Amino acid sequence: MTSTPTDVRRSPAPTLVTSRERRKKKPPSLKRARTFYLFVAPWVLGFVGLTVFPLGYAFWLSLTDSDGLSPRTHFVGFDNYLEVFRDPLTLSSLGRTGLFALITVPLSILAGLLLAVMLNQPIRGRGLLRGLIYLPAVVPPVGAALTFRLIFDRDAGAANGILSGLGSNPITWLVDPNVRYVLYALVLWGCGGSMIISLAGLQDIPKELQEAALVDGASYWQSFTRITVPLLSPVILFQVITGIIGSLQSFAPLLLSSGTLSGAGTVPQGNYLYMIHVFAQYFSAARFGYASAMLWLLFGVILLVTLVILKVSARTVFYTVEPEGRR
């Protein structure tokens, strides 16, 4: 690496060689390029038709007063975006969703990490234990939500059964203000997914590093915080980002209460997350323009949060291999 790219461009000889080569190779490489486009075409068409176009359409709708039914819609400019600040339910549900992410994402990652560390020890039957702890993460969302509805049922549920055994009065779990704890419990039940990702990360850490630290007199805790956690930080960052994106879009409260999109308005206040409000505006109130503005707002928030996390974490995340694959 003695010459910079500009040097190469200035010197005439290499340019001649590449152009001659290009002329020689042109027919097959053009054919190859066409074959490449043929192969990636399904995804490109899907990306344009199912992502770019719907997002653009939603943006156009967000500038109108469309209700999806009447043929005449009016252009209202950015009124729908200003409406966000006038609608107390939008801001409160956004705040509630932020709190939901702030509580459940760290808890799930931490629980998954602890389980992964324990199940990375050389103990008998760990394959079976891993499988059993991971099992709830494969249960489909509807099945999981129904199961938690049954556990936290006021009269026939196991939670109140245990409480009455302890001499306590039954609690109405599925209404305010307790319903949020049922939601947190439901999310935590699936922490096996986080465990599997952390476990894969742990297995990539060379054992010699931790052993060397122990030989040098470090405690288990020091070896964990100084070696394991830094080496695992890219995996943790990945989980933080995907976890937050997932929680901001969560509609699980819908399954915990009504189970229909048109029943979105009946979700108890404590679980009234942002997506629930979006569904209520779309399917109960038919305010397509306003709901589209809400979706674009969420899209913007997610982009912003992702960029901020990437920026803030840039100094704390430790890569042994650089993200681009260079060592």
Partner 1 sequence: MNRSYRWALYVVLLAVVLVMLSPIVWLVSTSLKSPAEMASFPPTWWPAHPRLANYSEAVSKVNFVGAAQNSLAIALISTTLTTLSSAWVGFGFARLTAPGKKQLFVILLATMMLPGIVTLVPTYLIFAKLHMVNTYWPWVAWGLGGSAFLIFLFRQFFAGIPRELEEAAIIDGCGYIRIFWRIFLPQSWPVIAASVILSFTHAWGDFVGPAMFLSQDSTTLAVAMASGYVNSQGLPLNNLVAAGAVLYVLPVLLLFLFMQRRFVSGFTTSGIK
Hey, is 190 helix, strand or coil? coil
Taking CB under 8 A as the criterion, the residue among 11, 18, 51, 172 binding partner 1 is 51
Taking CB under 8 A as the criterion, the residue among 22, 32, 176, 319 binding partner 1 is 32
Is residue 39 a contact point for partner 1 (CB under 8 A)? yes
DSSP string, 28-43: HHHHHHHHHHHHHHHH
Binding span for partner 1 by CB under 8 A among 11-19, 35-43, 90-98, 314-322: 35-43
* Total residues interacting with partner 1, rule: CB under 8 A: 86
Site string for partner 1, 161-180 (x = CB under 8 A): x--xx----x----------
Centroid of chain to Cα 199: 19
Is residue 202 a contact point for partner 1 (CB under 8 A)? no
Hey, is 225 helix, strand or coil? helix
Q: Which two tokens stand for residue 216?
A: 């040098």
Taking CB under 8 A as the criterion, the residue among 27, 71, 140, 167 binding partner 1 is 140
Taking CB under 8 A as the criterion, the residue among 8, 16, 158, 312 binding partner 1 is 158
Binders in 231-260 for partner 1, by CB under 8 A: 241-242, 245, 248-249, 251, 255, 258-260
Taking CB under 8 A as the criterion, the residue among 84, 103, 110, 146 binding partner 1 is 146
Of 197 and 248, nearer to partner 1 (C-beta) is: 248
CA–CA separation, 52 and 74 (whole Å): 23
Taking CB under 8 A as the criterion, the residue among 1, 13, 156, 215 binding partner 1 is 156
Of 4 and 121, nearer to partner 1 (C-beta) is: 121
Binders in 99-128 for partner 1, by CB under 8 A: 115, 118-119, 121-123
Dihedral of CA atoms 86, 92, 94, 97 in degrees, nearest 10, equals: -170
- Write down the residue that tokens 């038919």 correspond to: 286
Which of 284, 282, 264 is CA-nearest to residue 272?
264
CA–CA separation, 258 and 265 (whole Å): 9
Binding span for partner 1 by CB under 8 A among 77-85, 86-94, 137-145, 197-205: 137-145
Which of 228, 232, 191 is CA-nearest to residue 212?
228
Q: Are 61 and 79 in contact (CB under 8 A)?
A: no
Binding span for partner 1 by CB under 8 A among 93-101, 153-161, 203-211, 221-229: 153-161
Read off the DSSP letter of residue 49: I
